[in-house]
Amino acid sequence: MKAGDLPQPITAALRRGVVIPAHPLALNANRELDVDRQRALTRYYVDAGAGGLAVGVHTTQFAIRDVGLFEPVLTLAAASAGAWTEKPIAMIAGVCGRTEQAVAEAKTAVALGYHAGLVSLSAFAGASEDERIAHCRAIADVIPVFGFYLQPAVGGVVLSRSFWRRFAEIENVIAIKVAPFNRYRTLDVVHGVVAAGAEDRVTLYTGNDDHIVLDLLTPFTVMRGGQPVTVRMRGGLLGHWSVWTKAAVDLLRRIHAAPAPTEDLLALDTAVTDCNAAVFDVVNDFHGVIAGCHEVLRRQGLLEGTWCLDPAEGLSPGQAEELTRVAVAYPELTDDAFVAANLDRWLA
């Protein structure tokens, strides 16, 4: 599938910039898929105003592939979104592993109606730039590609400006999630896209959970041929936005509507980052990142528990208290009332 084959409303939404939650995995106490709550999560994101869903990504737990849940979970999300709303929802599938596996996952995603594949290069640690580009081209022959610069602390690899230029030159690349948690490496993506002359085709999405608001407010201006070129991050594809999603949608709308950064918007960067530190368990090197998302959703009633596929994954000591602290400190960044008003309907 080529980018030109995507429905025009999907292309327009991605270019405009939308909230794309990284969809969690709802499990029961036996660590089995909880279909009703998985469906409820999808309905929540749709009603909160998300413009896309990323499924089969880190927050969904990469281990779904090891327990036979990759296709069932992707199927459930696509079917649930399609049955719940007629508005266009950009469906993004996580695509992982070496080339044979990644291409097979991309083909599965296309068959299920997904619009793009978010490509992880974690399996290419130590590979050459040529090998990584060949891998991305193989996936792009199957599905429009959403690039992903994953921070090395959780399995990503360092990627050069040269890589991002060559990556952006691939015709079927439509967007990049910029998530190295590093300002220098974030700029490498911007330079690469501009050097490729791809800024009108490749939309940048923030994945820098430590810098969400400023990423969305910043004009990134770099030089090409002696002339300044300015690009912006238009939306976010974030694990952080899998919780308190209605507040995230409201925040992005405020940013899009602002003619210039205001002091109150700029101040929100620190508040959002403080919330993220609690959810992602930064103090413990992200050990409780998935469980932290689950705990917020559990408190709201969307999930029954914080179970992960790996029994060793869970909340870190003190993390629950940190989640309580930020929820009390920044009520405007939560959406508990919205969830409470709709929960029964989503679980029905």
Q: At 97, which CATH number?
A: 3.20.20.70
* Cα-Cα end-to-end distance for the chain: 35
CA distance 130 to 141: 17
Is 316 within a domain?
no
Is 272 within a domain?
no
CA distance 278 to 136: 34
CA distance 213 to 270: 8
What pLDDT score does 5 carry?
Answer: 93
Is 305 within a domain?
no
Is 285 within a domain?
no
What pLDDT score does 153 carry?
Answer: 73
Kindly state the tokens that stand for 35: 């279909």
DSSP bridge pairs for 118: 94, 146
Q: Over its length of 348 residues, how does the chain's per-residue pLDDT go in tens digits?
A: 998 899 999 999 999 999 999 999 999 999 999 999 999 999 999 999 999 999 999 999 999 999 999 999 999 999 999 999 999 999 999 999 999 999 999 999 999 999 999 999 999 999 999 999 999 999 999 999 999 998 887 778 999 999 999 999 999 999 999 999 999 999 999 999 999 999 999 999 999 999 999 999 999 999 999 999 999 999 999 999 999 999 999 999 999 999 889 999 999 999 999 999 999 999 999 999 999 999 999 999 999 999 999 999 999 999 999 999 999 999 999 999 999 999 999 999
Is 345 within a domain?
no
What pLDDT score does 169 carry?
Answer: 98
Q: What angle do CA 237, 58, 298 make, to 5 degrees?
A: 90
Whether this prediction's pTM lies above 0.85 is answered by: yes
- DSSP single-letter state for residue 225: T
- CA quadruple 206, 212, 213, 215: dihedral sign: negative
CA distance 97 to 85: 32
Domain assignment of residue 58, given as a range: 3-257
Kindly state the tokens that stand for 332: 């405007």
Is 296 within a domain?
no
Is 289 within a domain?
no
Q: Are 194 and 232 in contact (CB under 8 A)?
A: no
What pLDDT score does 47 carry?
Answer: 98
The total number of structural domains in the chain stands at: 1
Q: Phi-psi bin for 68: left (phi > 0), alpha (psi -120 to 50), beta? A: left
What pLDDT score does 154 carry?
Answer: 75
Is 198 within a domain?
yes
Q: How many of the other CB atoms lie within 10 Å of CB of 2?
A: 13
